[in-house]
């Protein structure tokens, strides 16, 4: 499996260069903007998240700056992301908590990050990996689906996929696996009727759960 995994990762790196980088990746090495753009991205298309993030960060890129904005203003800036009213409220709460509990700095530990309003393990891992370049495995629906479809893990939920990958996936691939599989999942290995005929890693994939493909 190690040699096969190395080969698959090399293929994924080459193939994903054809597509746009997921929007959250645009804010690498800036934990606060990674955090907020992740919150905005939940249940929202990448292009919508990109526009909302750009508008919001044009008005402020720190907890203190965002808190100067009214919740109504934040709603207008991030619209039409999914659940924009709830997210505007969460963003204000996050900023207040960062200032009161963490001296304005985004924490880099998963257990601390998930204490923030609206932040789950997926977002926490993205902040840790993209914001701080520290080991973590971000598992969203694409990572969960593809890793199970491929047969690399056999799990029922993204959280369980993360734990399985922490035991099995070599740490050298932890940070990049999300970017690779999100791009692959958005463009080729789709939830329904994946484009298997165009897939360069098809020979390594067990296609578990795939009933229709193109």
| Per-residue pLDDT tens digits for 49-76 | 999 999 999 999 999 999 999 999 999 9
Q: To which H or E segment does residue 183 belong? A: helix 174-187
Provide the pLDDT for residue 152: 96
Q: Which pLDDT score is estimated for 2?
A: 61
- Structure confidence by residue, pLDDT tens digits, 145-191: 999 999 999 999 999 999 999 999 999 999 999 999 999 999 999 99
Q: Residues of CATH 1.10.340.30 domain(s) within the chain? A: 29-132
pLDDT of residue 24: 74
What is the spatial distance between Cα 155 and Cα 147, in angstroms, rounded to a whole number? 9
Angle between helix 174-187 and 141-150 (nearest 10):
90
pLDDT above 60: residue 87 = yes
- The CA–CA distances, whole Å, from 9 to 5, 14, 168 equal 6, 9, 15
pTM over 0.75: yes
Instruction: Tell me yes or no: is domain 29-132 CATH 3.60.21.10.
Output: no
Confidence band, pLDDT 50/70/90 cuts, at residue 3: confident
Q: What percentage of residues in the chain have a pLDDT greater than 70?
A: 99
Token pair, residue 178, equals 């999300």
Mean pLDDT of 13-26: 84
**Would you state the pLDDT for residue 23?**
72
Q: What residues does CATH 1.10.1670.10 cover in the chain?
A: 2-20+137-204
Q: Please report the pLDDT score of residue 1 as a whole number.
A: 56
The topology (CATH level 3) of 2-20+137-204 is: Endonuclease Iii, domain 2 (1.10.1670)
Q: If you average pLDDT over every residue of the chain, what do you get?
A: 94
């Amino acid at each position: 499996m190690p040699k096969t995994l190395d080969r698959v990762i090399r293929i994924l790196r080459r193939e994903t260069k054809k597509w746009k980088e997921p929007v959250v990746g645009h804010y690498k090495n800036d934990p606060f903007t990674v955090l907020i753009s992740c919150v905005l991205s939940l249940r929202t298309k990448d292009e919508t998240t990109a526009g909302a993030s750009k508008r919001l960060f044009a008005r402020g890129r720190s907890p203190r700056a965002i808190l100067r904005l009214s919740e109504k203003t934040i709603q207008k800036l991030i619209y039409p992301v999914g659940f924009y009213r709830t997210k505007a409220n969460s963003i204000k709460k996050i900023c207040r908590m960062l200032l009161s509990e963490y001296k304005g700095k985004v924490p880099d530990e998963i257990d601390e990050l998930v204490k923030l309003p609206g932040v789950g393990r997926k977002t926490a891992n993205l902040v840790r990996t993209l914001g701080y370049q520290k080991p973590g495995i971000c598992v969203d629906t694409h990572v969960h689906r593809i890793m199970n479809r491929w047969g690399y893990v056999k799990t029922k939920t993204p959280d369980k996929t993360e734990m399985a990958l922490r035991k099995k996936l070599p740490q050298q691939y932890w940070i990049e696996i999300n970017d690779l599989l999100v791009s692959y999942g958005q463009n080729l290995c789709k939830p329904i009727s994946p484009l298997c005929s165009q897939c360069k890693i098809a020979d390594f994939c067990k296609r578990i759960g795939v009933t229709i493909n193109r």
